[in-house]
Chains A and B, each alone.
Chain A
Amino acid sequence: MITLAYTPFIDPLPIQSVWYLTLPLLALGVAMAYKAVRVRELSRYPAQVVMFTFQILGGVIALGLLAILVIDILLPLISPMPGA
């Protein structure tokens, strides 16, 4: 009999409302794989991974803030919606 109990790697994690918390893991994985083939000396690998992880996080947060600026502030100024 198969039941509806949560099974890791088979069922999705119940984090629908906090999905953005997965971004650090994404940034870390990208940094680990990319820097492994890019750094010249592996002794600098950990520092490079940490720095690149924060660069990705900073870039994504900056893009999010830019999207908020354009969609929530600039667009209503340029083209006010009736009733808004």
Chain B
Amino acid sequence: MTEPDAHQPQQSPQPGPQAATDPGPEAEGLNIPAGIAALLLPGAGQAVRGEPKRGLLAGVGVLLLFFGGMLIGGIDSIDSKEDRIWFFGQALVGPIAFVVDGVHQNAFKAFDEANPSGPRRSGRPDEHRVRDAAGRPVWAPLTREQIDSGMGPPNVKSVGRINEVGTLFCTIAGMLNLIVFLDALIPPVWRRGAGEAGGGA
């Protein structure tokens, strides 16, 4: 699929009045719809631009890292409250990162019974998640019998190297998605209007 000539790179710009004028965002390759699609889903920007295969490969790479990080470090790898700086990088993956973080904060964390006004935290192995009289999730201690029967918090908090590796995977996914987003928004000159064939020179 090819786009109009305005997208084609100029092989040998002609000197004269036209060369001095600003060619505008279209000729520069700026594609706002592709940028918006890229923000919503990794690789979708390339698909909007007419390169679905390239978008699929980029999206699979980014999501492999993101969900690979979750597989290694668990849902605790995405935490906007306890690992805020890392989350800035993870947020670049797009809405998926915010959804996962929202689920983590609201469905897996709870308030400390002894400090109900404090922040939510992950549960310890000897606690389980219950609702208090106000309907807020709080951690309640388990009895020995309950622990022996296998009861515990909804997730195991990741610690040490595994937490570091999982968090790193998800953050690198976000940083790579920034490259993929910029590629969709402003692709390199050699690929403008090239379509699925790759447009290699």
> A residues bordering B, Cβ < 8 Å?
1-13, 15-16, 19, 22, 25-26, 28-37, 39-43, 45
Interface residues of B (CB under 8 A from A): 42-43, 46, 53-55, 57-58, 60-62, 64-65, 67-68, 70-76, 108, 125, 128-129, 150-156, 158-163, 165-166, 168-169, 172-173, 176-177, 179-180, 183, 190-191, 196-201
B176: chain A residues at CB < 8 Å are 29-30, 33-34
Q: Which residues of B contact A32 (CB under 8 A)?
A: 57-58, 60-61, 64
Q: How far is the CA of A24 from the CA of B76 in the complex (A)?
A: 22
Decide if B162 touches A39 in the complex (CB within 8 Å): no
Docked Cα-Cα span, A52 to B127, in Å, equals 45
Q: Decide: B71 and A8 in contact? CB cutoff 8 A.
A: yes
Given A19-B165, A26-B65, A29-B173 in contact, is the A12-B57 Cβ separation under 8 Å?
Answer: no
Report yes or no: A12 in contact with B54, Cβ–Cβ below 8 A: no
Q: A12-B72, A12-B73, A12-B158 are in contact. Are A41 and B198 (CB under 8 A)?
A: yes
Interfacial chain A residues near B46, Cβ < 8 Å: 36-37
**Set of chain A residues within 8 Å of B172, measured between Cβ atoms:** 26, 29-30
Contact, CB under 8 Å: B154 / A37: no
Q: Which residue of A lies closest to B45 (CB)?
A: A37
A29-B155 in contact (CB<8A): no
Q: Contact between B61 and A29 (Cβ–Cβ < 8 Å)?
A: yes
Tell me, in angstroms, the Cα distance from A33 to B199 when the chains sit together.
18
Contact present for B64 and A37 (CB under 8 Å): no
Interchain CB contact (< 8 A) of A12 among B61, B62, B76, B177: B76
Measured CA separation A3–B166 after assembly (Å): 23
Given A7-B155, A33-B176, A36-B58; A26-B169 close (CB under 8 Å): yes
- Contact assessment for B71 and A13 in the assembled complex, using a CB-CB cutoff below 8 Å: yes
Residues of A within 8 A of B150 (CB): 3-5
- Residues B162 and A9 in contact, CB atoms below 8 Å apart: no
Distance, CA A12 to CA B157, complexed state (A): 7
- Our pick among A11, A15, A36 for the contact of B54 (Cβ within 8 Å) is A36
Other-chain contact of B198, A11, A29, A42 (Cβ < 8 Å): A42
